[in-house]
Structure 1
Amino acid sequence: MILELADIRIQPGQQAAFDEAIERGVRTVIAKAKGFQGFKVNKGVESPERYILQIFWETLENHTVDFRQSPAFADWRAIVGPFFAQPPQVEHFTLVAKS
């Protein structure tokens, strides 16, 4: 399993609208993608314009090829992109240990 970690910064004062948009975008667009395994969204306490989106994929290519190179990626960005203060920082991780 691959963890996609996206560090998202949104424009000030848009938290309530973005809360709805990010969940709707994941559930209606990303959740239908090949290899999608689940997600989590967290909002910053000290920095309420900062969000951490975690998406679990079966393989790296499910995200980087199957999703990012599909029309669904444009659909996703149309939902959440207008809120971005800057492009999200995205990295991928593999699990080392868990409790």
Structure 2
Amino acid sequence: MVLEVADLRAADGGGEAFESTIRHGLDAVLSTSRGFVGYQLRRSVESPDRYLLMIEWASVEDHTVGFRESAAYEQWSAIVRPVFRGAPNVEHFALRASSTSER
């Protein structure tokens, strides 16, 4: 498995409207993508307009090819792009150690 980490900034400072829009996009579009495992959305305590969206994929290709080259990516972007301030910074991470077992 691979973890996609997207560092997001909310266009209007964050809050319930931003979070609701992101959850809608995730649940309506992204969660149906091949290789999608699950997600977490976390809000910064110190910078309330900053969020980390962490999405687990079966493989990096499921995200970079399977999802990003699909019609679902355009649907996702249409939903969430208006609430982003700038483009998110996205990287992929592989688990190397954990205090909990990997799913």
Task: Tell whether the structures are fold-level matches, with TM greater than 0.5.
Answer: yes
Residues 18 and 83 in structure 2, CA contact (< 8 A), matched pair in contact too:
yes
1: distance between equivalents of 2:13 and 2:41?
Answer: 18
Within 5 Å, give how 1:5-20 maps onto structure 2: 5-20=5-20
- Which deviates further from its counterpart, 72-81 or 87-96? 72-81
Distance 1:6 1:48, change over 3 A: same
Where 2:52 maps in the other structure, the secondary structure is: strand
- Displacement of 1:97 after TM fit? 0.6
Within 5 Å, give how 1:82-93 maps onto structure 2: 82-93=82-93
1: distance between equivalents of 2:46 and 2:26?
Answer: 24
Distance 1:70 1:47, change over 3 A: same
Q: Which residue is 2:60 aligned to? A: 60
1: distance between equivalents of 2:16 and 2:56?
Answer: 24
Q: What is the identity percentage for the equivalent residue pairs of Structure 1 and Structure 2? A: 46
Q: Which runs of 4+ in 1 moved over 6 A?
A: none
- Displacement of 1:11 after TM fit? 1.5
Q: Which residue is 1:41 aligned to? A: 41
Q: Is 1:22 matched with 2:13?
A: no
2: distance between equivalents of 1:35 and 1:54?
Answer: 14
One-letter identity of the residue aligned with 1:93:
F
- Displacement of 1:14 after TM fit? 4.4
Deviations 1:41-73 (A, max 9, x none): 001111111010000000110000000010101
One-letter identity of the residue aligned with 1:77:
S
- 5+ residue gaps, structure 1, are none
1: distance between equivalents of 2:74 and 2:46?
Answer: 31
- Displacement of 1:15 after TM fit? 2.1
2: distance between equivalents of 1:78 and 1:12?
Answer: 17
Where 1:37 maps in the other structure, the secondary structure is: strand
